[in-house]
Amino acid sequence: MPKLQLALDGDLSDGLAVLEKAHACVDIVETGTPLVFREGMRAVRVIRAAYPGLRLLSDLKIMDAGEAEADIAFDAGADIVTVLGLSGDETIQGALASAEKGDGQVMVDMMGVADPTQRAAELIALGCDLLCLHTAHDQQSRRGSPWRQLAQVRAAYPALSLAIAGGVSLSLLPQILPLHPQIVVVGSAITAAADPGLAARLIHEGIREYGDA
Amino acid sequence: MPKLQLALDGDLSDGLAVLEKAHACVDIVETGTPLVFREGMRAVRVIRAAYPGLRLLSDLKIMDAGEAEADIAFDAGADIVTVLGLSGDETIQGALASAEKGDGQVMVDMMGVADPTQRAAELIALGCDLLCLHTAHDQQSRRGSPWRQLAQVRAAYPALSLAIAGGVSLSLLPQILPLHPQIVVVGSAITAAADPGLAARLIHEGIREYGDA
């Protein structure tokens, strides 16, 4: 069953308000990059304390100093940290080393990677086991949704844990779920909905009923 | 005359302690990426309030949502924000649009860019006027210092404002200054020195005496 990851990119107070309504349908809560820029690890600590049962991902999009920067998120209480697939192999290895010191996990954000399948092979060789196919927000109008990349990488690596992010909404589930993502990342389709709780419930039920990964 | 940019990557309290000793020799103070991850924009606000006369750069290394993420730093009081040269052109344009709303400036961090001279041409066409040649911390042992990239881009664009970052120390000034960088970014060579004030003064004097850009 795919997990639903809720990305909180706004203010912390807005994020907490959404989470209050949506947390029961969420498997992983994400402190998004803009929220990290605003609040730093305070966002992680506050959400960790309020929802100790939720898995928590901090979307640092690490590009350098992999071990030291991943340490910051894990030390603050994150379960998962993101590193850019565009970063150097040493940075990936550093983030993995940080994760291995505790029970942390590294998600590699494939944003901007020209050949995701080839890079996936390199990342797997480095020890990565969770990749996120992610169309940049700024490129969604031009590049469209990331499901083509998900389809490519899924075809090459049927058993690899994959997340999909970037413009995911309820209406896209019929195109995404047949590609068997392990994690479906949703942001504004929940946070900007008139009723975030209802939006989360509908997406959660869609994933439960039709997701079979 | 090149400017000295001091990158603060540690804790905020450590950064403030270094700044107290070094600020007279510093032109631009940088809230480094790890500091932003720890403290968010509180680091920018605290340093802005303590040193209103210093230019302040926030090293967000923006990869997506260029305008919205740059807004966060400028709204907090930063003068300059960084965006990754690896990001999409829409993200660069977004960060530039954010900067143009005030007196902000965008520095493009060329970390990981395969062909900096070619990407520089694209960035200039987009309206960028400040690029940072930057060897990732994690790759300094393998790739060496970034001065070769600086030399390449300087040869192609004699009048472009260029910064250099990544392992810069006092002993490297004789190799860096002849390439006419407008900004020399120094981190641990000052922050980790036994006497950060003395380290900053020596680097500052080296730049003043031998930098002629």
Percent helix, strand, coil in chain B, to 5, is 50, 20, 30
Looking up tokens 């499901």, which residue turns up? A147
In our burial notation (b when 16+ CB lie closer than 10 A, e otherwise), range B23-55 reads: bebbbbbbbbbbbbbbbbbbbbbbbbeebeebb
In this prediction, residue B139 carries a pLDDT of 86
In this prediction, residue B143 carries a pLDDT of 62
Distance CA A132, CA A170 (A): 19
**Chain B residues near residue A88 by CB distance under 8 angstroms:** 112, 136, 138-139
Mean pLDDT of chain B: 95
pLDDT tens, residue by residue, B107-130: 999 999 999 999 999 999 999 999
In this prediction, residue A144 carries a pLDDT of 61
Stretch A16-30: mean pLDDT, rounded?
98
Contacts of B72 (CB under 8 A, 6+ apart): A34, A37, A38, B41, B60
Q: For residue A143, what pLDDT band results from cuts at 50, 70 and 90?
A: low
For residues A1 and B62, the model is more confident at B62
Distance CA A132, CA B36 (A): 23
A34 touches chain B (CB under 8 A): yes
Q: What is the pTM of this model?
A: 0.97
pLDDT tens, residue by residue, A96-133: 999 999 999 999 999 999 999 999 999 999 999 999 99
Q: ipTM score of the complex?
A: 0.96
Q: How many other β-carbons are positioned within 10 Å of the β-carbon of residue A38?
A: 24
In this prediction, residue A21 carries a pLDDT of 98
Residue A49 near residue A39 (C-beta atoms within 8 A): no
Q: Which run of H or E residues covers position B17?
A: helix B12-22
Contact B90 A39 (CB under 8 A): no
In this prediction, residue B87 carries a pLDDT of 98
pLDDT tens, residue by residue, B49-71: 999 999 999 999 999 999 999 99
pLDDT tens, residue by residue, B155-207: 999 999 999 999 999 999 999 999 999 999 999 999 999 999 999 999 999 99
Handedness of CA B68, B35, B164, B75 (dihedral sign): positive
In this prediction, residue B147 carries a pLDDT of 84
**Chain A residues near residue B43 by CB distance under 8 angstroms:** 40
In this prediction, residue B146 carries a pLDDT of 76
Residue B61 near residue B85 (C-beta atoms within 8 A): no
**Chain A residues near residue B167 by CB distance under 8 angstroms:** none
In this prediction, residue A79 carries a pLDDT of 98
Contact B137 A64 (CB under 8 A): yes
Q: For residue B212, what pLDDT band results from cuts at 50, 70 and 90?
A: low
Please give the share of chain A, as a percent, with pLDDT higher than 70: 97
In this prediction, residue A118 carries a pLDDT of 98
H helical segments located in chain A: 12-22, 33-39, 42-50, 66-76, 89-101, 116-126, 140-143, 147-156, 173-176, 188-191, 196-210
By C-alpha distance, the chain A residue nearest B84 is A63
- How close A10 comes to chain B (CA, Å)? 10
Looking at the DSSP bridge assignments, the partners of residue B105 are B80
In this prediction, residue B144 carries a pLDDT of 62
